[in-house]
Each structure stands twice: as structure tokens, then as C-alpha cells.
Structure 1
């Protein structure tokens, strides 16, 4: 897993973007996590006559996990629901990226006890990457 100074964690996937997306969606269904949106950035670019490598975003969450965070710090709603970005680079490598839960805690001055509500995102990414 790699991290950036901007609070983004990433992991390489062993699968294509579409296969990785399908795996994430299956994990979310299995865990009864609501999928709010699936955004196909590369597909939208293609429709505009532009080309970019496959790049897709899933937005998902569970009110039982997110609501306590938003009650503690309403500004965290700008970073929720949770998101996973699945993108292919120029070399054909697929990467899954997400906001680092610790970064969000600091950014929104959230209590450490609430990190478990969003830390599950790493496990979802890691399971989908295998």
C-alpha cells in the first residue's frame, strides 16, 4: 500500500479496472453496504470525444457508520460517503485509491474512536485487489 501527502492511499490490483470494480461491488453487496453511485470518468470522456485510460469511481456507505462521524464533525460530509477510485495507468497497471481514514480524522478533527467506522475501506480495497 502506498500513501501520498494529500491523504490518499493506493494499492495495486491484480485485475483490470472492470474486474476490480465488479469485485468491489460484490463485496459491498455481501456486506450489505449501499452503493450510491458508479461514475465512469473514462466513459464520459469518450462521449466527449476525449480519451483517457479506464478510470471509474464507486461511492458507497452505510448510515450507521457515517452518521456518527457527521454528528461529531458536520464538515466530514464533504468527504462522505466513502469512495474507491479504480484507474489504469499508461503502463496498464490498475490501482485502487481512497482517502486515508487517519487523514480524514485529522482534517475534520474527529475523535479517534470513530476511525473504525471508515477504516473498513482498506479491507474492501485489499480484498478486491487480490
Structure 2
């Protein structure tokens, strides 16, 4: 899912990290692709991936379908294009049955999706 943020790139990144940690989840990493590109003399628009999750929500998924660990922790991409921030993430529905995950367990992922959508809109 790709959504346009109502906030600047930097504010979108900050708001998402604050919202994620505010709901008791962990931000495991923040990957700044623009900085990585600059380190090798390349330029690109602001592009950051936030890697986040919750062992409480994710562990039952990995117990039910061990290969689902490839999908965890979750990720959300924030990028800027022509001065507008966009947020992209995998919808919970896209994980149904993936790696043998039983359909009802995708409900564990839905709250994060709603949190992201609600955080980037005024």
C-alpha cells in the first residue's frame, strides 16, 4: 500500500517512529538509503526504511509458520518525491497464507497497518 503523507518527509519519519514506540512496539532499525547513497558519491531523494515490530505479536506468527520469520520484523518505507512524502508498506492481507501462515493470524498485523495510516494523516 502506498499512501501520501500530510506531513514533510522528516516529520513523517519522526511521527511514525513515535507512534510505533508509543504503541509498545520496537523500532529495530532506521535505514537511511539517501545517506548510504551519498557515502558512495550518489544522490537520491530522501528514502528511509523503518524496521519495527513486537515480539508479542510476531512470535505467534513465527511459531505457527517458522518461515514467516523472513517477513519479520515489519518494514515501512518513507520516501520523498517532488517535495511530497509517501509511505509504503505491505498490507496485512498480502501475508495471508504466505510461508504457510494461517489466515486468521494475519489479524496480528492489522493494528500496525492502521497505526501507520492514522499517523500520516491530519
TM over 0.5: yes
Query: What corresponds to 1:73 in structure 2?
Result: 65
**CA deviation profile, 1:35-75 (whole Å, cap 9, x unmatched):** 10011001111121101000001111111100111111111
Alpha-carbon distance between aligned partners in 2 of 1:11 and 1:97, rounded to the nearest angstrom? 6
Contact 1:87–1:95, Cα closer than 8 Å, also in 2: yes
Distance 1:16 1:43 in 2: 18
Given candidates 14, 17, 30, the residue that maps to 2:9 is 17
Counterparts of 2:91 and 2:68 in 1: how far apart (Å)?
13
SS of equivalent residue, structure 2 residue 4: strand
Q: Identify the residue that residue 115 of structure 1 maps to in structure 2.
A: 106
| Residue 94, structure 1, aligned to residue 57, structure 2 | no
1:83 lines up with 2:75 in the alignment: yes
Q: CA deviation at 1:15?
A: 1.2
How many pairs align? Answer: 121
Which ranges in structure 2 are unaligned for 5 or more consecutive residues? none
Deviation at 1:102, TM superposition (A): 1.4
Task: Give ranges in structure 1 of 5+ residues lacking alignment.
Answer: 1-8
Match of 1:126 in 2: 117
Root-mean-square deviation (CA, aligned residues, Å) is 1.2
Shift of 1:107: 2.3
